[in-house]
Amino acid sequence: MDEAARAVLARNDRGGYTVPTDRLYPFQWNWDSAFVAMGFAIFDIDRAYRELERLVEGQWDDGMIPHIVFHAPSDTYFPGPEVWGTRHRIATSGITQPPVFGMALRHVHDAAVAAGRPDAADRTLALFQAALRSHRWWLSARDPHGLGLVSILHPWESGSDNSPAWDEALARVPPTTTTAIRRKDTGHVDPAMRPRDEDYQRFIHLVDVYRDCGWEPARQWAVAPFKIADVQMTGILARSTADLIYLAEALGLEGERAELASMHHALTTGLAGRWRPDLARFVSLDLVSGEDVGAPTQACFMPLVALHVDHTQLQAVEAEIKRWLEGMVVGLPSTAPYSQAFEPKRYWRGPVWAVVNWLLADGLRMNGALELARQIEQSTVSAIERSGFCEYFDPTTGEGLGGDAFSWTAAAYLVLSR
């Protein structure tokens, strides 16, 4: 299996960067690459750095690291560069994705130091500066009012495209588009496992709106019809910030360390305020309606990667997670099985994702819930051993679904099976 996992990464290598899977996703994706870099760090440190370096080729002058870098043309994915209409040196999308980058950089750096690589400090430093610029962008572009929570302006930014968490907010977005929609995904995998056409109409409506803003953060913020201060995004950003603080110390960068420490304080304070004891989970905030996002999804537990919760909170979270796992062959489902929105095969509305489990297990372990962390990791590894390196899994059967030979599932296997 270890060899097979490496073979998946080799097969999806397009020259220093890895596509998530052939045809369905033929470009470099932001958070996929961060996970992949951690997988590479186990057996090829140079290639691990390369993955992050190639992603940074797509970084914008304002600091944003886009969600897709279109290094080479392909006609097997929609929406391609012509729809985004951005103006970076290399074609990229105009939105971002969860900043796992900082976490990955620490991981790769530690592996490089442990291996005694002489280039570790220089390569880490260049990537650290890129990461710091992107964290500054997050705070200024996506938390302009200083809530200590960063917002997504598009469901694709969350990485959990059609999650029930976005249903109410997305219903307010008109389904009309000026761009002609030519979906390719449903030609690669069963449409019953993908977001619906209506979701795509709204996804593209949002792209049309932001393209008309010239992709300028302040203009987008002012007109965004979809704006959610997201606990998953903020949790990941806060965690990556902590990992950058660790690197700033390792590299002897005192000014940067202090700057990151103040970001970290703001984000962890913001996150802590999103705990809802009656629900036993954290909730995102819809900035258009002013309401809490009630849908029970995996995002609600993601703050554990960044926060040290108290004993009562931890007990409540553990009980709630165990409730979601009851009767499941593999967990954690991306939507609570008791929710009406639960669909065990439809993308982010129920299926289990290996990289989500990776982060959740990490957060649980960091908070001392060792047994539950191990259980989630082992069930992920077993699902992959039974069904292969699939994009995601049906929690009720363990069946592998979506694209196959998936890069981040291979990376998760390499890391979680150790």
Residues annotated catalytic, as ranges: 161, 391
Among 9, 26, 29, 409, binds ligand 9WN (CB under 6 A): 29
Number of Cβ atoms within 10 Å of the Cβ of 385:
12
Most distant pair of Cα atoms in the chain: their distance: 56
Token pair for residue 358? 């990776």
Minimum distance from CB of 408 to ligand 9WN (Å)?
A: 7
For ligand 9WN, the closer of residues 22 and 185 by Cβ is 185
Which pair of tokens denotes residue 185? 């995904």
Distance of CA 53 to the CA centre of its chain: 18
Task: Rank residues 29 and 358 by Cβ distance to ligand 9WN and give the closer one.
Answer: 29
Shortest distance, position 130 Cβ to ligand 9WN, whole Å: 19
Indicate the residue among 161 and 394 with the shorter CB distance to ligand 9WN: 161
Between CA 314 and CA 277 the distance in angstroms is 11
Q: Which of 49, 36, 156 minimizes the C-alpha distance to 95?
A: 156
Site for ligand 9WN in 63-92 (CB under 6 A): 67
Residue with tokens 């910030």, as numbered in its chain: 241
Contact 27, 15 (CB under 8 A): no
Closer residue to ligand 9WN (CB): 232 or 234: 232
- Look at residues 23, 284, 332, 307 and name the one whose alpha carbon lies nearest to residue 158: 284
**Stretch of 29-37, 128-136, 274-282, 318-326 lying at the interface with ligand 9WN (CB under 6 A):** 29-37
The minimum distance between CB 9 and ligand 9WN, in angstroms, equals: 14
* Nearer to ligand 9WN among residue 22 and residue 362 (C-beta): 22
Which three-class secondary structure state does DSSP give residue 335?
strand
**Total residues in contact with ligand 9WN, by rule CB under 6 A:** 10
CB of residue 29 vs ligand 9WN: minimum separation in angstroms?
A: 4
- Closest CB to ligand 9WN among 21 and 313? 21
Cα 85 to Cα 79: distance, rounded to the nearest angstrom: 11
CA 128 – CA 43 distance, rounded (Å): 22
The number of beta carbons lying within 10 Å of the beta carbon of residue 377 is 23
Site string for ligand 9WN, 150-169 (x = CB under 6 A): ------x--x-x--------
Nearer to ligand 9WN, 25 or 275 (CB): 25
Give the residues across from 13 on adjacent strands.
Answer: 18
Among 26-34, 118-126, 210-218, 246-254, the segment contacting ligand 9WN (CB under 6 A): 26-34
Question: Smallest distance from the beta carbon of 70 to ligand 9WN, in angstroms?
Answer: 12
**DSSP bridge partners of 92:** 69
- Give kind and range of the element (H or E) at residue 195: none
Using CB under 6 A as the binding rule, the residues of this chain from 98 to 157 that contact ligand 9WN are: 156
Answer for the pair 151, 142: CB distance below 8 angstroms, yes or no. Answer: yes
Token pair of 4, please?
């097979």
Asked whether the beta carbons of 69 and 60 are under 8 A apart, the reply is: no
Q: Residues 6 or more apart from 52 whose CB is under 8 A from it? A: 33, 34, 37, 101, 104, 105, 108, 127
Return the residue of 8, 17, 22, 32 that touches ligand 9WN, per CB under 6 A.
32
Told to check if 27 binds ligand 9WN by CB under 6 A, we report no
Q: Report how far residue 233's alpha carbon sits from residue 334's, in angstroms, rounded to the nearest whole number.
A: 15
| Distance in angstroms (rounded) separating the CA atoms of residues 188 and 344 | 19
Q: Which of 17, 25, 221, 389 binds ligand 9WN (CB under 6 A)?
A: 25
CB within 8 A of 89, min separation 6: which ones?
57
In the complex, minimum distance from the CB of residue 351 to ligand 9WN, in angstroms, rounded to a whole number: 11
Residues of this chain, 174-193, that bind ligand 9WN according to CB under 6 A: 185
Nearest approach, Cβ of 191 to ligand 9WN (angstroms)?
13
Nearer to ligand 9WN, 31 or 324 (CB): 31
Among 9, 17, 20, 100, binds ligand 9WN (CB under 6 A): 20
Min CB(289)–ligand 9WN separation in Å: 24
Which residues are near ligand 9WN by CB under 6 A?
A: 20, 25, 29, 31-32, 67, 156, 159, 161, 185
